[in-house]
Structure 1
Amino acid sequence: MGRGTALALHERGLDILGCDIAGQARQAFEAEGGRSVATPSELAACEIVVVLVVNAEQVEAVLFGEQGVAARMAPGSLVIQCATVAPAFARDLGARLEAMGLAMLDAPVSGGAAKARSGELSVMASGAPTAFDRAAPVLDAMAATVYRLGDTAGVGSSMKLVNQLLAGVHIATAAEAMALGIRLGLNPQTVYEVITHSAGNSWMFENRVPHILAGDYTPLSAVDIFVKDLNLVHETGRELAMPTPVAASALQQFIAARGAGFGREDDAAVIKVYQRLSGIELHEAANDAGGE
Structure 2
Amino acid sequence: MGLGDMGSGLAKNLMVAGFEVAGFDLSSERMAAFTGAGGVGCGAAAQVGQGAKAVFVMVMNGDQARQVIADLATVMAAGSAVILTATIHAHEAREIAASLEGTGIDMIDSPVSGGQPGAMGGTLALMASGTDAAMAAQRDVLEAVSKVIHHVGQEVGDGQAMKACLQSLIGSLFAATYELSVLAGKAGISGQVLREVIASTGAGNGITDGSLENIMHRRFDGTGSGIGTMWKDLTISLEMAKREGVPMHTTATAMQIFQAGIAKYPAGDNQSAARVIEEIVGAELAP
Q: TM-score, normalised by structure 2?
A: 0.93
Please give the alpha-carbon distance, in whole angstroms, between the structure 2 residues aligned to 1:59 and 1:283: 42
Contact 1:219 1:265 in 2 (8 A): no
Contact 1:120/1:144 (<8 A) preserved:
yes
Partners of 1:106 and 1:154 within 8 A in 2? yes
Which residue number corresponds to residue 179 of structure 1?
Answer: 182
* Shift in Å, 1:231: 0.7
Q: Where does residue 35 of structure 2 map in the other structure?
A: 30
* Aligned equivalent of 2:62, options 52, 56, 63: 56
Could you say what secondary structure the match of 1:221 adopts?
coil
Q: What is the rounded CA distance, in whole Å, between the counterparts of 1:213 and 1:281 in structure 2?
A: 8
Name the residue aligned to 1:259. 263
Match of 1:287 in 2: none
1:206-241 CA-to-partner distances (Å, cap 9, x unmatched) read 122211122112241111112111111111111111
Separation of aligned partners in 1, 2:29 and 2:267: 18
Residue number among 126, 133, 138 corresponding to 2:136 in the alignment: 133
Match of 2:22 among 10, 17, 25: 17
Instruction: For residue 282 of structure 1, report the CA deviation from its aligned partner.
Output: 5.3
Q: Is the deviation greater in 249-258 or in 201-210?
A: 201-210
Match of 2:3 in 1: none
Structure 1 spans left out of the alignment, 5+ residues: 285-292
1:242 aligns with 2:246: yes
The CA deviation at 1:78 is 0.7
**Equivalent position SS for 1:105:** strand
Q: 1:119 deviation in Å? A: 1.2
Distance in 2 (CA, whole Å) between partners of 1:44 and 1:204 is 36
Please give the secondary structure, in 1, of the residue aligned with 2:82.
Answer: strand
Are 1:78 and 1:103, in contact at CA under 8 Å, matched by a contact in 2? yes
CA distance in 2, matches of 1:7, 1:109: 16
- The answer to whether structure 1 residue 226 and structure 2 residue 230 are counterparts is yes
The letter of the residue matching 2:24 is C
Distance 1:216 1:99 in 2: 49
Q: What percentage of residue pairs aligned between the two structures are identical?
A: 30
Q: Note the residue ranges of structure 2 that are not aligned, 5 or more in a row.
A: 1-5
* Residues 68-147 of structure 1 mapped to structure 2, 5 A cutoff: 68-147=71-150
Q: With the length of structure 1 as denominator, give the TM-score of the two structures.
A: 0.91
CA contact (8 A) 1:124 1:149 kept: yes
Q: Distance in 2 between matches of 1:119 and 1:226?
A: 21
The secondary structure found in structure 1 opposite 2:100 is helix
Q: CA RMSD in A?
A: 1.6
Give the AA of the match of 1:103. D
For the 8 Å contact 2:182–2:285, the answer to whether it is kept is no
Give the equivalent residue in structure 1 for 2:199.
Answer: 196
Match of 1:289 in 2: none
Aligned to 1:72, the other structure's residue is in SS state: coil
Structure 1 residue runs of 4 or more that deviate by more than 3 Å after TM superposition: 281-284
